[in-house]
Structure 1
């Protein structure tokens, strides 16, 4: 009973925060190059990508599943110690039926004992257009209840080989089950 109450409390708090802090994520073409800025070398390019991450933990066909947890995870209000493996679709708009531009594959875990915080290790593998076959790697802390989060881009493949940069994540939609749609605006130097 306590476990169910803790899970419901976390989910309700997350939903209240997300709804109260929800921000419109600007519609834009999902990828494009811009002129290199001063912090880049003349041979480097800066690419801006915008897409939506669809994380589904509920239902018969989840895109993220719990693969491990600590003995006391279920007693924790933040589910500290839960580890999930994900293969989430990346789409052009927040509509789950919009154009698929790639997949987010990797893992994330609840790393905060006192506040909800995820540690993410993800590869965003692109399957559309110019970026088809290329990927970027994200690794860092994701304070999921913050309306806007910044995560580091630590590498890439294909067109994004030796990439660095940052990703701005904004929760577009969140459900008490834990399902979420998150808008990503990524700046990649490569």
Structure 2
């Protein structure tokens, strides 16, 4: 891990005091999120709770899943690993298949190694493009804000496998 997130409270305080002379940076990232609830295919998400009434049929209301999904440079699971998406998603609509997602992208490669981006928002998965807000970050992404645009690249309900293309535009200091 990079030492960007391993700084003492005093070092962080000094960084904040010097912030007024800094201009925000813009970082654009592109990667793929691999979500598998299939134990035979690189399991990365586990359902931990479900509502007793609605969760067995669409829109699957009340299902809570915890994730530790690989992030890769390309759509193939064998492509270069750039990090992980660690967090949760909960189906949160009675009308459509939509999730509340709280995910931290933990980067493990390149200039972002050791840094994180925190994302929290609504993901209506049947829409072609979805936007989730960036609500913070650490390391090179301190004080991040921005947008993550999602587009489903591959989805197979029977295989319990989804690959989602992600484009990130982050403002940070």
Higher strand share: 2
Instruction: Indicate the residue corresponding to 1:169 in structure 2.
Output: 150
Instruction: Indicate the residue corresponding to 2:27 in structure 1.
Output: 47
Say if 2:110 is the partner of 1:116: no
Correspondences of 1:33-182 after superposition (within 5 Å) = 43-60=23-40, 61-177=42-158, 178-182=160-164
Contact 2:55 2:62 in 1 (8 A): no
Contact 1:167 1:185 in 2 (8 A): yes
Unaligned runs of 5+ in 2: 1-20
The normalised TM-score by structure 2 is 0.83
Contact 1:76 1:113 in 2 (8 A): no
SS of the aligned residue for 1:130 comes to helix
Alpha-carbon displacement from aligned partner over 1:75-107 (angstroms, at most 9, x marks no partner): 442110000000000000001100000000000
Alpha-carbon distance between aligned partners in 1 of 2:141 and 2:133, rounded to the nearest angstrom:
14
- The 1:75/1:53 distance shift into structure 2, 3 A limit, reads closer
Number of residue pairs matched by the alignment: 150
Shift of 1:42: 6.2
Alpha-carbon distance between aligned partners in 2 of 1:74 and 1:123, rounded to the nearest angstrom:
25
